Amino acid sequence: MDGVLDARFDHLPSLPQNLSAPLPWVKFTIACFRFSEVRAHFEDEGWTVRPLLVVRDVRSVFNSLIQKKYGRNGITADDPPIRLRLRRFLEDWKLFVDRGWPLLRYEDFTNDPISVLRATCAELQVAWDEAMASWPKKLEQIADPGFGNETFVLSRGSSLQETVKPSLASVKTEHIPPGDLEWMEREFAEMNRRMNYPEHVPATADPALGQRAVPQFENTRRYERLRRKHRFSRFFTGASETLGNWMKGGAEES
């Protein structure tokens, strides 16, 4: 197998030309596109897709994303609100449940990564290989590792067992405003029940966070580009005025 780790979440994924193995794979995050949309895109390209959805307690996801730069709680199509991203994930989860497609529960994986991965490969009808656990290949041997998750890249060990840390699976809420926590526990009640997640976890956020994390245009990359363009424009205008004054002064002297 060879493929993409990760695909950009704001682009429809594509497979590189330099695949070194016959079975390609693509790892991507549900954000701008639902899995159902990405699957339809690849089927339009002639591929047969074997789906796998990695599921994690969404309270942990929110608590993490809201701190990360790439978790932008924006209002644009390429940086949508975190709540919208989670709603898309929930739609895909329901699709997987309805179709009986494989689900990998992240918390189970962290507790016993090799056994869970073996079982997942069996569900996907992918032959087990010890290299899946021992990782003898270098990261650079993946056809497209260019947009890998920052947390994974920084915490990656020399093997699966050395990389996966059960402590990362604990549910924390210190960065979740109470309104967002209540929304998730209401919106994801069925998923939490069926995936054996707790119905309720205590709120531990500082009251200064407010009632909810309000999506803002200022959180988006589009806003950052506009700011850079504005700063450049002001710099260019100021430089032009300085040059003009200097040339005017030189002409008067001559």
Q: What is the domain partition of the chain in residue ranges?
A: 2-169, 220-254
The residues facing 105 across adjacent strands are: 55
Residue reference for tokens 């993946």: 142
Whether residue 238 has pLDDT greater than 60? no
Q: What angle do CA 30, 36, 38 make, to 5 degrees?
A: 70
Q: What angle do CA 178, 192, 161 make, to 5 degrees?
A: 100
Mean pLDDT of 123-139: 93
pLDDT band at 251, cuts 50/70/90? very low
What is the pTM (predicted TM-score) of this model?
A: 0.87
pLDDT band at 97, cuts 50/70/90? very high
Q: How far apart are CA 227 and CA 21, in angstroms?
A: 44
Q: Helix 82-99 and helix 35-44: axis angle, to 10°?
A: 70
| Range list of H helices, the chain | 35-44, 58-65, 82-99, 106-111, 113-124, 131-134, 150-155, 160-163, 178-187, 189-194, 221-253
CB atoms within 10 A of CB 169: 17
Whether residue 219 has pLDDT greater than 60? yes
DSSP E strand stretches across the chain: 2-5, 24-27, 53-55, 103-105
Give percent helix, percent strand, percent coil of the chain, each to the nearest 5. 50, 5, 40
Q: Which residues of 175-190 are buried (b: 16+ CB within 10 A; e: fewer)?
A: bbbbebbebbbeebee
pLDDT tens for residues 46-91? 999 999 999 999 999 999 999 998 899 999 999 999 999 999 999 9
Query: What's the one-letter identity of residue 139?
Result: L
Q: Is 66 left (phi over 0), alpha (psi -120 to 50) or beta?
A: alpha
Query: Is 124 in contact with 52 (CB distance < 8 Å)?
Result: yes
Residue reference for tokens 């689900």: 103
Which of 118, 127, 134, 101 is closest to 35 using CA atoms? 101
Query: Is 83 in contact with 180 (CB distance < 8 Å)?
Result: yes
